[in-house]
Amino acid sequence: MMRENWNDQGQGFHPVSAPDYLPAAQLRDLQLRRLKAVVNRAYEHVSLFRERMQERGLTPACIGSLADLAQLPFTIKTDLRDTYPFGLFASPMSEIVRLHASSGTTGKPIVVAYTQEDLQVWASVMLRTFASAGIHRGDIVQNAYGYGLFTGGLGAHYGLEAIGATVVPTSGGNTDRQIMLMRDFGVTAVCCTPSYFLHMIERANELGVDMRELPLRAGVFGAEPWSEGMRECIEKGGGIKAYDIYGLSEIIGPGVGAECCEQAGLHIFEDHFYPEIIDPETCKVLPDGEEGELVLTTLSKRAMPMIRYRTRDITHIITEPCSCGRTVRRIARVARRSDDMFIIRGVNVFPSQIETALLAVEGALPHYRIVLTREHGLDQMGVEVEVGAEVFSDQVSAMESLHKRLAHSIERITGIRAAVRLVEPHSIPRSEGKARRVWDERKA
Ligand code: DLL
């Protein structure tokens, strides 16, 4: 039964959100029907999928239940690179109305495609994202995700228009102008990477603008890992509620999953994206609740169906139902990627652990970078972290004490002794999109 008068923070319900509340049996039924159709489509139109299935003696008829998905081969990022640019398309170009591509630092980007129907689905999952963050008609939303080949800008844009909000399509960059528009237009919600919003808060303060006094009340942040500590800094500094949104180009862009007003994990839009968690070593499917790599299958994508795409993102499925009433399952915040991990003196470390360690100590600012070097054959981990101006002007003993507490916190969480360097505010480069945290200067 659809919850006619469901309210998220007052006015978030929109009929298009109904699939978020489907009874489990009905949802599984829908997923199975869609899964069969998408496997058929991929088998018929994409030679890579067909050949991989044939190698295993599989046909689309092998899918009789959702559990049968586990027999199908995985898809990985290099499959998109190897078939660059259009090798995984299941629709003729005449039906493809949009292309996006990853920015990729080296080599060729990965390319993704959308039909008209795919764009409608994308706008609908983004609409559900904004509804669950309590954004509605009448809101003025500054969209500072990059517009262009990156999926963030246009993905958020069409979802915001679909919900009836007023979009201010600023894209990333030109921070002073962003702040001027935010204040002059009476912006009530913002979308960008969490690191860029922190930078906006900081710049606003320098310009004498206190964001907490503006009508701004919510932010929808994603595209990069961020921690609970970072959420606290953003919510306090901006006077807003900060919601997490997750997605990736290969699957659709932003809008694979998003937090609701409970801010306790991200609901996956399961009627379009089927999640599995696997052990990244053995590739076996893990039961709900266990941590592993997120694998996603698109259930309705037409231009570029993805079967069992290995995201490299580490998370787990939350088993408890959410008190918001949505029935679609949640994943825990994606704090790390398996390929972000670095190994230092044999110990596996994730940048998110460093972030958590730093933000657990009062006085540290959420701006840091990790520099890996090798001295006399031994790996060293340096962590540069900005600290408030008052600490610098304070006595040396205050600096020493903070330094000690930070080093101790890092060692407690990672087991590694780091060379911590306290640096002045603004000395670490800011990013307008995804932040870079690790500089690995070790020679191979
Ligand atoms: O970053 C899509 C997006 C745009 C998501 C705007 C959210 C908001 P890609 O550039 O293909 O797509 O990067 C996808 O970014 O596999 C994760 O590793 C990471 N990522 C995205 N959202 C989150 C998040 C977009 N909320 C890759 N938390 C993904 C942690 C995230 N990591």
pLDDT in tens, 78-128: 999 999 999 999 999 999 999 999 866 567 899 999 999 999 999 999 999
pLDDT for the residue numbered 93: 98
Whole-structure pTM value = 0.93
- Mean pLDDT (the chain) is 94
Give the distance (Å) from ligand 1 centre to CA of residue 390. Answer: 35
Q: What is the mean pLDDT of residues 348-373?
A: 94
What is the C-alpha to C-alpha distance for residues 145 and 432, in angstroms, rounded to an integer? 9
What is the C-alpha to C-alpha distance for residues 268 and 329, in angstroms, rounded to an integer? 6
Query: Is 270's C-beta closer than 6 angstroms to any atom of ligand 1?
Result: no
Query: Is 299's C-beta closer than 6 angstroms to any atom of ligand 1?
Result: no
Largest CA distance in the chain: 73
Query: Is 245's C-beta closer than 6 angstroms to any atom of ligand 1?
Result: yes
**pLDDT reading at 160 higher than 50:** yes
Q: What is the mean pLDDT of residues 9-30?
A: 83
Domains located in the chain, CATH noted: 1-338 (3.40.50.12780), 342-440 (3.30.300.30)
Atom of ligand 1 nearest to the CA of 150: 10
Query: Is 188's C-beta closer than 6 angstroms to any atom of ligand 1?
Result: no
Give the distance (Å) from ligand 1 centre to CA of residue 337. Answer: 10
Give the distance (Å) from ligand 1 centre to CA of residue 245. Answer: 8
Give the distance (Å) from ligand 1 centre to CA of residue 246. Answer: 5
Q: Among 114, 143, 145, 151, name the best residue to mutate to test ligand 1's pocket (greatest count of ligand atoms within 8 A of Cβ).
A: 151
Place of tokens 């101790």: 408
Atom 12 of ligand 1, nearest CA residue: 248
Percentage of residues in the chain with pLDDT exceeding 90? 86
pLDDT in tens, 34-46: 999 999 999 999 9
Q: What is the mean pLDDT of residues 73-79?
A: 96
**pLDDT reading at 346 higher than 90:** no
Query: Is 255's C-beta closer than 6 angstroms to any atom of ligand 1?
Result: no
Q: Among 160, 334, 341, name the best residue to mutate to test ligand 1's pocket (greatest count of ligand atoms within 8 A of Cβ).
A: 334
Closest by CA to 223, choosing from 7, 24, 443, 432, is: 432
What is the C-alpha to C-alpha distance for residues 257 and 275, in angstroms, rounded to an integer? 10
pLDDT in tens, 279-331: 999 999 999 999 999 999 999 999 999 999 999 999 999 989 999 999 999 99
What is the C-alpha to C-alpha distance for residues 117 and 115, in angstroms, rounded to an integer? 5
pLDDT for the residue numbered 312: 96
